[in-house]
Amino acid sequence: MEYKKASAFFNSHYTVGETDPRIFGSFIEHLGRAVYTGIYEPGHPAADENGFRKDVIQLIRELNVPIVRYPGGNFVSAFRWEDSVGPKEDRPRRTELAWRTIETNQFGLNEFMDWCRKAGTEPMMAVNLGTRGIDDARNLVEYCNHPGGAYYSDLRATHGHKDPHNIKIWCLGNEMDGPWQTGHKTPEEYGRIAVEAAKVMKWVDPSIELVASGSSNLNMPTFGTWESTVLDHTYNLVDYMSMHQYYGNAAGDTPDFMANTVAMDDFISGVISICDAVKAKKHSKKTINISFDEWNVWYHSNEQDSKLAPWTIAPHQLEDIYNLEDAVLVGSMLITLLRHADRVKIACLAQLVNVIAPIMTEEGGRVLKQTIYYPYLYTSLYGRGTVLEGITESPKYDSTNFTDVPMLDCTAVACPDSTISVFAVNRSVDTPLLFTPQLTEFGNLRPVSWTSIEGPDKNAVNTFDHPDTVAPQSHAVKSDDSEFLLAPLSWNMIRFEP
Ligand code: AHR
């Protein structure tokens, strides 16, 4: 097959910033089987004494997920947190409006905190600013973080948790710009409730950090106005602006699908510009960073189908089965997040188990690594360090909605142990790229490993019976190798050592 050449130039003195490990976060919502028969399944052979599936925890530990957003998502906007604490037999079953299910509340706030400890992760808690507001937000912070001697902190102690949970990161609602959201708001309405909730939450615990809810995606009609209006109200009290974005290939147009990360890159730059414009307008010394707290590929499942049989417990909702090209795009989305390491401080792959997720479970049965598991795994393990500013030279292509799309998508991370990880995606569907990564002023470096996700069938998937159809491939490297032939539609990690 005829190849084209591409290069990336990195210099030890030109850096973007340190990777905040929280960009490898994820998300568990009370949706479908994320919680019930996902992370929590009493009676499962692998369940521990709390009903937490140890087989799932093992994979989450392998991924080294530093932070998990909870409990929603759209779910949070009608959630009564009090329903989910206290003796399980007293917890009410509720109609769950966002996903039209029955919520049993058998797994709630304290179970989530216990689960986080076992999974080796930290919580990122969202408050309901849809049906509820200031009072409930401050009560929830008191319940979680106040040491004791007041009503809600003492209630927590009676629920078996004398010590405060000390939850550090809090989301002020979820996708409040979306008409689908329970309690959808205009930018003004949201800005007002967000600032007042933020104020009392920080009065209860000044050490917390807050995420303002941003646009649900780049195409929202209020995009831009939403962010600037919300920040006009909340700038002094919030620490992060959230971003959400999912991509899909419903049209079967892979070149266009692979180009989506060009738009993602622009989206991040755009939101940063808006944050900084408000900063300038306010003569503020404070910088608002980005929490990209929902991102993934999402299109294989049909949301409407799951709504045809409403009011069941833990139905099979949004169980996208990911293929090879999805894994390559997820790898490219991770590269995009790394390239903005100076401002993107939190990011959550949405979601973690069963619902648009890298990990799937069978009820009572096995656990499966989906294709997207692998780029997430390797970037989480080897993408922590100093992100290097790169200059790439790459052939380009045009697609249905994009022009001049570089075939090579690339970044590099200098890790604390003096190794360097180069992450590279070949977006082209048919052209191999002979890739030369040039790492200057690092001393003598030699390539030690090259791992890729690639294959002959872009639609290949992993199933419980054939779990390794799409699995990482290890390529032999010689210490004097300087060029690497990247397969069409492939994700690659090449590691260098001194
Ligand atoms: O992650 C699935 C859903 O996508 C979330 O509930 C919502 O916030 C977003 O629209």
Q: pLDDT (tens digit, 9 = 90+) per residue, 219-271?
A: 999 999 999 999 999 999 999 999 999 999 999 999 999 999 999 999 999 99
CB-based contact 127:173 (threshold 8 Å): yes
Q: What is the mean pLDDT of residues 276-299?
A: 98
Please give the pLDDT value at position 300.
Answer: 86
CA distances from 238 to 210, 234, 250, 482 (A): 5, 6, 36, 46
Under 8 Å CB-to-CB from 391, ≥6 apart: which residues? 8, 9
3-state SS, the chain, equals CCCEEEEEEEEEEEEEEECCHHHHEEECCCCCCCCECCCECCCCCCECCCCEEHHHHHHHHHHCCCEEEECCCHHHHHCCHHHHCCCHHHCCCEEECCCCEEECCCCCHHHHHHHHHHHCCEEEEEECCCCCCHHHHHHHHHHHHCCCCCHHHHHHHHCCCCCCCCCCEEEECCCCCCCCCCCCCCHHHHHHHHHHHHHHHHHHCCCCEEEECCCCCCCCCCCCHHHHHHHHHHCCCCCEEEEEEEECCCCCCHHHHHCHHHHHHHHHHHHHHHHHHHHHHCCCCCCCEEEEEEEEECCCCCHHHHHCCCCECCCCCCCCCCEHHHHHHHHHHHHHHHHCCCCEEEEEECCCECCCCCEEECCCCCEEECCCHHHHHHHHHHCCCEEEEEEEECCEECCCCCCCEECEEEEEEECCCCCEEEEEEECCCCCCEEEEEEEECCCCCEEEEEEEECCCCCCCECCCCCCCCCCCEEECCCCCCCCEEECCCEEEEEEEEC
Query: What pLDDT score was predicted for residue 1?
Result: 75
- What does the pLDDT read at residue 475? 98
CB-based contact 76:69 (threshold 8 Å): no
Residue nearest ligand 1's atom 4 by CA: 73
State residue 302's pLDDT score.
Answer: 65
pLDDT of residue 234: 98
Across the chain, mean pLDDT equals 97
The token duo for 14 is 């030109």
* CA 72 – CA 125 distance, rounded (Å): 9
pLDDT band at 478 (very low <50, low <70, confident <90, very high): very high
Contact 483, 436 (CB under 8 A): yes
Residue indicated by tokens 């905040």: 20
What average pLDDT does this structure show over 276-295? Answer: 98
Read off the pLDDT of residues 196-211 as tens digits, 9 standing for 90 and up: 999 999 999 999 999 9
Closest CA to 116 of 106, 128, 124, 127: 124
**For residue 282, how far is its CA from the centre of ligand 1 (angstroms)?**
32
359-361 and 367-369 strand pairing: antiparallel
Q: How far is the CA of 175 from the centre of ligand 1 (A)?
A: 8
Q: Which domains does the chain have, with CATH numbers?
A: 4-12+388-497 (2.60.40.1180), 20-384 (3.20.20.80)
pLDDT at position 309 is: 63
Query: Is the CB of residue 289 below 6 angstroms from any atom belonging to ligand 1?
Result: no
- Rounded to whole angstroms, how far apart are CA atoms 409 and 422? 11
Judge if the beta carbon of residue 350 lies within 6 A of ligand 1.
Answer: yes
Residue 79 CA to ligand 1 center (angstroms) comes to: 15
Catalytic positions: 175, 294
pLDDT of the residue at 306: 54
Closest residue CA from atom 9 of ligand 1: 73
pLDDT of res. 476 = 96
C-alpha closest to that of 339 among 297, 378, 372, 379: 379
The per-residue pLDDT for range 303-338, each reduced to its tens digit, is 555 555 689 999 999 999 999 999 999 999 999 999
In the block, tokens 């990482």 appear at: 472
pLDDT for 310: 80
β-strand 490-497 against 420-426: which pairing, if any?
antiparallel
* pLDDT at site 307: 56
Closest residue by CA, ligand 1 atom 6: 73
Residue 182: C-alpha distances to residues 195, 198, 228, 267 (Å): 19, 20, 22, 26
- Whether omega for the bond prior to residue 488 falls within 30 degrees of 0, making it cis, is no
d(CA 388, CA 379) in angstroms, rounded, equals: 15
Rg of the chain (C-alpha set):
23
**CB of residue 29 inside a 6 A radius of ligand 1:** yes
The closest alpha carbon to 253, from 396, 399, 128, belongs to: 399
Whole-prediction pTM: 0.97
Mutate to test the pocket of ligand 1, among 174, 292, 306 (most ligand atoms within 8 A of CB): 174
* Ligand 1 pocket check for 215: Cβ under 6 Å: no
Q: What percent of the chain has pLDDT over 90?
A: 97
**Residues whose CB falls within 8 Å of the CB of residue 420, separated by 6 or more in sequence, listed in order:** 10, 388, 412, 413, 414, 439, 442, 445, 495, 496
**How far apart are the C-alpha atoms of 267 and 51, rounded to whole Å?**
40
Question: Cβ(73) to ligand 1 under 6 A?
Answer: yes
If you measure from the C-alpha of residue 31 to the centroid of ligand 1, how many angstroms do you get, rounded to a whole number? 9
326 lines ligand 1 (CB under 6 A): no
Of all atoms in ligand 1, which is nearest to the CA of residue 246?
4
How far, in Å, CA of 151 to CA of 148, rounded? 8
Q: How many residues does the chain have?
A: 498
Q: How far is CA 362 from the centre of its chain?
A: 23
CA-CA-CA-CA torsion for 445, 450, 452, 454, nearest 10 degrees?
110
Average pLDDT rounded to a whole number, residues 413-441: 97
